[in-house]
């Protein structure tokens, strides 16, 4: 059963009530109950989606379930009448809240979820609307953490020859490079880089961005490589040191950088 401690917008709410007579006495088992409701969207009112019922014939307690559709306004007015002689109508006003108020348990859960959170997680939470439900906040945290786990789980090493200072190169601007000639990264982890979907893995090399890479499983985990860098692409590189980074890019456009190094570029001697 949904939490009934506070009426929420767009969530069905069970409203208890009693039917009184003019002298203040309670009708213990009122008959012929009928309910009407009106809200901001329907100020003239309509028959309620659910019929009222008697739940306690001793104390005269009744209830009616105000449907989710009837709980979509700032105020929902409910009126219930009885056909019993002398019965006065019950009238009540519900003020549906935009979202569930966080309980102490919710706060503890959120604190645990945010423990050790990086900037990406905190930024995602900060971007959520103020009235976001607790469950939706937890879902957003889990989604971002799942994506950023790629950083902490991957152990990256460059398998192509590198210079003693850790750079790679030289690469000559204006030359054509085919697969395997611009070095590869070996990702020694079980992260399914080859199952990232539409985004896949891309490489940014200085001013050259979004070069789609190939990803193939190997004994160490996965091998990531630039399949082809054309002469036209490399021609835009300026001589000197340029940053090369490899990014996982999922279908939603979320990028995770998991490998970065420096490439030495030489000018074309011709």
Evaluate whether residue 1 is within a structural domain: no
- Do 146 and 171 fall into the same domain? no
Kindly report the CATH number assigned to the domain that includes residue 207. 2.60.40
- Do 139 and 210 fall into the same domain? no
- Do 165 and 212 fall into the same domain? yes
pLDDT at 119: 63
Which among 75, 94, 113 is the end of a domain?
94
3-class secondary structure per residue, 210-251? EEECEEEEECCEEEEECCEECHHHHCCCCCEEEEEEEEEECC
Angle (nearest 5°) at CA 96 between 95 and 97? 115
Tens-digit pLDDT string for the chain (270 aa): 455 677 888 889 999 999 999 999 999 999 999 999 998 777 778 999 999 999 999 999 999 999 999 998 889 999 999 999 999 999 999 998 876 655 666 666 666 666 666 566 666 667 666 666 677 777 766 666 555 544 444 444 445 546 767 677 788 888 888 766 776 666 655 556 655 555 578 888 888 888 888 877 766 667 777 888 888 888 888 888 888 888 876 656 667 777 777 888 888 655
pLDDT at 220: 61
- Do 117 and 160 fall into the same domain? no
Spell out the residues 6+ positions from residue 194 whose beta carbon is closer than 8 angstroms to its own: 215, 216, 217, 222
SS3 state at 132: coil
pLDDT at 261: 78
The range of the structural domain enclosing residue 59 comes to 13-94
- Do 30 and 119 fall into the same domain? no
pLDDT at 151: 44
pLDDT at 91: 93
pLDDT at 180: 66
Domain count, the chain: 3
Tokens of 29: 């088992």
pLDDT at 203: 85
CA distances from 254 to 248, 249, 258 (A): 8, 6, 13
Instruction: Report pTM.
Output: 0.42
Evaluate whether residue 200 is within a structural domain: yes
pLDDT tens-digit readout, 201-225 = 888 888 888 888 887 776 666 777 7
- Do 146 and 164 fall into the same domain? no
Taken as a whole, the chain contains a residue count of 270
Which among 94, 113, 135 is the end of a domain?
94
Evaluate whether residue 236 is within a structural domain: yes
pLDDT at 157: 46
Evaluate whether residue 256 is within a structural domain: yes
- Do 177 and 210 fall into the same domain? yes
**CB of 263 closer than 8 Å to CB of 155:** no
- Do 90 and 161 fall into the same domain? no
């Amino acid at each position: 059963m949904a939490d009934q401690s506070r009426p929420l917008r767009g969530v069905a709410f069970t409203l208890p009530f009693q039917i009184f007579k003019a002298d203040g006495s309670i009708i213990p088992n009122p008959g012929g109950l009928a309910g009407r409701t009106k809200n901001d969207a329907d100020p003239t009112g309509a028959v309620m989606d659910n019929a009222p019922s008697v739940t306690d014939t001793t104390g005269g307690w009744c209830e009616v379930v105000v449907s989710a559709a009837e709980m979509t306004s700032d105020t929902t007015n409910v009126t219930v009448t009885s056909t019993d002689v002398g019965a006065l109508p019950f009238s009540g006003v519900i003020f549906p809240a935009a979202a569930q108020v966080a309980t102490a348990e919710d706060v503890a859960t959120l604190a645990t979820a945010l423990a050790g959170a990086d900037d990406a997680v905190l930024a995602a939470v900060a971007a959520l609307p103020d009235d976001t439900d607790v469950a939706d906040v937890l879902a957003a945290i889990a989604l971002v953490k799942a994506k950023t786990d790629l950083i902490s789980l991957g152990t990256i090493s460059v398998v192509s020859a590198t210079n003693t200072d850790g750079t790679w190169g030289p690469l000559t601007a204006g030359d054509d490079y085919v697969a395997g000639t611009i070095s590869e990264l070996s990702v020694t982890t079980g992260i399914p880089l080859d199952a990232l979907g539409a985004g896949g893995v891309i490489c940014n090399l200085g001013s050259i961005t979004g070069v789609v890479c190939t990803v193939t499983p190997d004994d160490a985990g996965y091998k990531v490589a630039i399949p082809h860098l054309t002469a036209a692409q490399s021609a835009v590189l300026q001589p000197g040191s340029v940053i090369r980074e490899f990014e996982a890019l999922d279908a939603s456009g979320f990028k995770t950088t998991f490998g970065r190094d420096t490439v030495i570029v030489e000018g074309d001697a011709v």
